[in-house]
Structure 1
């Protein structure tokens, strides 16, 4: 729903409504809306039937930031990121043959949730996450070896959530938390 059709009387889809609800929730979470404003605008968005009515519910919101997605891909060879690199909101990593090492322990992470999508053929992947990060990898399909992950004894709070998904053919995914 990023661009509304010129005919504001055109009926909206469920995807348009879901996008509007998500934007309202994000604006509330970022402190742009009070609880009362959120309730009123959410009700307006849920009952809207046309693009014009839906636009009225969203007009006071700040402009939506474009999604930050980056893709790193090689056919053969090593993919390696470490140090103080800026992690996008969504990172896609694609490799047919080769190893992947992503070290997020000293990376600049600006988003509360980071999605890493792996599409790997042959080779292993190692991901080092910040000490206080929360790791989720339920949507990860491996063809040959299982994913290795040992959660920290003390669960971190306040760190980013790192969601890892995708497929790996022949290789193992190892996820570990940084020691410091």
Structure 2
């Protein structure tokens, strides 16, 4: 099976995955994620979504999966490492941004917001390595996105976590927040109720 670092969802959308290669459960799940995102954007009707999700769940090969996403926009290819560096400002990642494998955040007296509501997920784990002085790291989750802060070292900082409220949802992405935060806070909350997946 191909390495997850290659961004399987983006490969499928481009149609360059080897058509005869057997699909894994993770490959099928990624295509379902792409299809539900397309339906949320109004690109697929409810009937088309049901039909394609059924086909995705029973697909045997990568070629079978590629057919289901061939008429959808190409997803942004996820990078392995992305760096955010700022002082006294505000950085927001939202919409259909590509989630990398590692996100390095260096921030002084500023805010960083990572909104996973419509993010394109190509990896099963995102490591957020923070070096923050003051300000806030905000994470907006959706069902299937789990945030862990056990490895984060805090000095005069606060961590406030609210789950998605759907603990039975399969885990699509595990966000591991680590590094050091001083005189700031981490806030994790679920997406607003108006969002539908």
Q: TM tier, shorter chain?
A: 0.5 to 0.7
Q: Could you tell me which residue of structure 1 aligns to residue 54 of structure 2?
A: 43
Name the CA distance, whole Å, in 2 between partners of 1:31 and 1:170. 40
What is the match of residue 80 of structure 1? Answer: 87
Is the radius of gyration larger for structure 1 or structure 2?
1
Q: TM-score of the superposition, structure 1-length normalised?
A: 0.58
Structure 1 residue 8: deviation in Å? Answer: 1.6
Does the C-alpha gap of structure 1 residues 62 and 81 become closer, same or farther in structure 2, counting only changes over 3 Å?
Answer: same
Aligned positions of 1:18-97 closer than 5 A: 18-67=29-78, 70-73=82-85, 79-82=86-89, 87=93, 89=97, 92-95=103-106
Cα RMSD after superposing both structures: 4.2
* Cα distance per residue 1:96-124 (max 9 Å; x no partner): xxx622246xx9x997468993433xx63
Q: How far apart are residue 42 of structure 1 and its match?
A: 0.2
Distance 2:31 2:118 in 1: 20
Gaps of 5+ in 1: 74-78, 152-163
2:135 matches 1:126: yes
Number of residue equivalences: 148
2:153 to 136, 143, 152: 143
- Compute the TM-score of the two structures, normalised by the length of structure 2: 0.54
